Structure 1
Amino acid sequence: MGLISLVWGIVALLWMVLAFIPLLGWGNWFLIPFAAVGAIVAAIGLLFTRAGNRGRAKAGLLLNVAVIVVGVIRLGLGGGFV
């Protein structure tokens, strides 16, 4: 679960970079739910993984939460369109 959430977070991060291009900001509307699913997968990974093996799940959770925060800020600044 940790590896899945980490890869999911990396894909979401790449998608976020793409959404910074002008006129592609509408991608944030799809990015935020995508990253939310990744954060849920990471949280499940944290619950069912032993304490010593939680590094990838924590990294995935942080990546996905960061993408969600930046996506929400980007939508707020651009009015949801740009």
Structure 2
Amino acid sequence: MGLISLLWGIVAMFLMLIAFIPLVGWANWLVIPFAAVGAVIAAIGVMLSDKGSNGRAKAGLMLNLIVVVVAAVRLNLGFGVI
């Protein structure tokens, strides 16, 4: 679960960076739910793994949460259009 969530977060980050291009800001409407699903997968991975072996799941959780926050701020700045 940890590796899946980390890879999911990397893909979400890549999609978010593409959405920084002017006039492609509407893609953040798709990135936020995508990253939220990755955060849920990561949270499940953190809960199900042992204390010493949940580093990738924690990293995936943090990465997905950062993507959600940055994409939401970007939507607020551009009003979801640009």
1:64 is matched with 64
Aligned-residue offset at 1:47 = 0.4
Q: Which runs of 4+ in 1 moved over 2 A?
A: none
Q: What is the number of residues matched between the two proteins? A: 82
Distance 2:55 2:12 in 1: 18
Distance 1:79 1:48 in 2: 38
* Percent of aligned pairs with the same amino acid: 62
**What RMSD, in angstroms, separates the aligned Cα atoms of the two structures?**
0.4
Structure 1 residue identity aligned to 2:18: L
3-state SS, counterpart of residue 32 of structure 2 = helix
- Cα deviation, 1:20-79, whole Å, max 9, x if unaligned, reads 000110100000000000000000000000011110000000000000000100000001
TM-score computed with the length of structure 2 as normaliser: 0.99
TM-score computed with the length of structure 1 as normaliser: 0.99
Task: Flag structure 2 segments of 5+ consecutive residues without an equivalent.
Answer: none
Structure 1 residue identity aligned to 2:73: I
Distance 1:79 1:9 in 2: 24
Task: Flag structure 1 segments of 5+ consecutive residues without an equivalent.
Answer: none
